[in-house]
Amino acid sequence: MIPDWAAERNRMVEKQLRRRGIRDERVLSAMLEIPREQFVPSESRLLAYSDDPIPIGHGQTISQPYMTALMAEALELRGPETVLEVGAGSGYAAAVLGRLAARAIAIEIVPQLAELARANLRRTGRDANVVVVDGDGSLGYPAAAPYDAISVAAGAPELPQALVRQLKDPGRLVIPVGERSDQELLVVTRRGGALDTRVATLCRFVPLRGGEGWK
Ligand code: SAH
């Protein structure tokens, strides 16, 4: 039996997002629209709307829906922004960000996953304003900098200064920072030349690799 994916999406948005405090209607409607089942491996399709991260190969995971929503909401996107996502993985979060902003650039360090993200975005017709580039996103992506918003989907040992440098004023950066296996989700806001940092939640992301990541 083929699941009613629209109904699954609706249930996910109500139970996992709205009920837990995600309020931004643009984020909620983006997540009602993006077919998450198209971004998970075919053997995990029936789990696409479960309340967990899902393995996507190469030791990586597609983040839990709530985490994708929380990060997108923290960026306070209104539509005209250019967003950098570090850690494209399956391409799912990039698709969500692409729906909320004018342009999303997702950088991925594992070439096979960059290819997977591109294929998923193309197949779902989300590639018009979302591009996936290969590279070490712990150093940002200077070619398209500065960014109105940056979202990092892997945990860093410290706040990568390259990402702070590539953030516009005003601009927002959301990133897990802490230990290898558990972190704080930081929301860094630049406004009027000053940086403000708040902790959104505790979290558990895969490690950020690369120059400003874990060795
Ligand atoms: N946003 C993804 C989640 C991917 S998990 C999704 O929605 O599916 C985190 C991803 O970060 C992994 O794919 C991992 O390979 C990637 N990653 C880790 N370190 C990186 C780095 N320095 N630069 C770019 N990508 C990195």
pLDDT in tens, 123-165: 999 999 999 999 999 999 999 999 999 999 999 999 999 999 9
pLDDT of residue 2: 84
E strands of the chain, at which residues?
54-57, 60-62, 82-86, 103-108, 130-134, 147-152, 167-178, 183-191, 194-203
**Beta strand 194-203 pairing with 130-134:** unpaired
192 Cα: distance to centroid of ligand 1 (angstroms): 31
Ligand 1 atom closest to the CA of 211, numbered from 1? 22
Band of pLDDT at residue 167, cut at 50, 70 and 90:
very high
Listed residue (35, 13, 15, 39) closest to 24, CA to CA: 13
Contact predicate 186/176, CB 8 Å:
yes
Percentage with pLDDT > 90 across the chain = 98
Q: Cα of 180 to ligand 1 centre, how many Å?
A: 14
Take residue 83 and report the two structure tokens written for it: 């967003």
Instruction: Enumerate residues lining ligand 1, CB below 6 A.
Output: 60-63, 86-87, 89-90, 92-93, 107-110, 113, 136-138, 153-154, 206, 208-210, 213
The percent helix, strand, coil of the chain (3-state, each to 5) is 35, 30, 35
When pLDDT is averaged across residues 80-86 and rounded to a whole number, the result is: 98
Residue by residue, what is the 3-state secondary structure of 108-169? ECCHHHHHHHHHHHHHCCCCCCEEEEECCHHHCCHHHCCEEEEEECCEECCCCHHHHHCEEE
According to DSSP, residue 155 is labeled B
Give the position, in ligand 1's atom list, of the atom nearest the Cα of 68.
7
Residue whose tokens read 């995600």: 22
Mean pLDDT rounded to a whole number for the chain: 97
What is the Cα–Cα distance from 39 to 99, expressed in whole angstroms?
Answer: 15
Coil vs helix vs strand at 76? coil
- pLDDT at residue 105, as a whole number: 98
Atom of ligand 1 nearest to the CA of 151: 1
1 pLDDT higher than 90: no
| Torsion 62-40-129-109 (CA) sign | positive
Query: Which residues does the annotation mark as catalytic?
Result: 63
Tens-digit pLDDT profile for residues 95-104: 999 999 999 9
pLDDT value at position 115? 98
Q: In a 10 Å sphere around its CB, with 0-12 CB exposed, 13-18 middle and 19+ buried, how is residue 141 labelled? A: buried
**What pLDDT score does 215 carry?**
86
Please report, to the nearest 10 degrees, the dihedral formed by the alpha carbons of residues 82, 92, 116, 114 taken in order: 30
Q: How far is the CA of 153 from the centre of ligand 1 (A)?
A: 6
Per cent of the chain over pLDDT 70 is: 100
* 189 band by pLDDT with thresholds 50, 70 and 90: very high
Longest CA–CA separation in the chain, Å: 55
Is the Cα dihedral 39, 44, 46, 51 positive or negative?
A: negative
Q: Which residue type does 14 have?
A: E
